[in-house]
Amino acid sequence: MRRTAPHARQPFSIWVGVRLDGLLAALVLPLLQMAILFLGPLLLAYYDQDLPFQQHFSVRDVHEAFLSIQGVRNHIVVGV
């Protein structure tokens, strides 16, 4: 008679720790949290009218923000 390991009888998803109960909450709640976190700076830019197609928007400001030393650090180096 051949004996099998105890984990061989379980499905692979259970063996590696993936469960279906709570999967929807695990997918939706982090997405909702990131949307709320990004909403703050967007609302501030909206109230300051700094968004594209608003009164105080300037392409020069965006250009300077990306090409300054801090802009290069924040947008290029950090992504690497």
CA distances to 2, 15, 51, 73 from 70, rounded to whole Å, are 65, 46, 21, 5
Average pLDDT over residues 1-11: 65
| Cα–Cα dist 79/41, whole Å | 20
Render pLDDT for 49-69 as a digit per residue (tens, 0 to 9): 988 888 888 888 888 888 899
Provide the pLDDT for residue 47. Answer: 92
Q: Taking 70 as the threshold, does the pLDDT of residue 3 lie above it?
A: no
Above 70 in pLDDT, residue 4? no
Distance CA 54, CA 45 (A): 10
pLDDT value, residue 79: 67
**Where do the structural domains in the chain lie, given as residue ranges?**
6-77
Higher local confidence (pLDDT), 61 or 13: 61
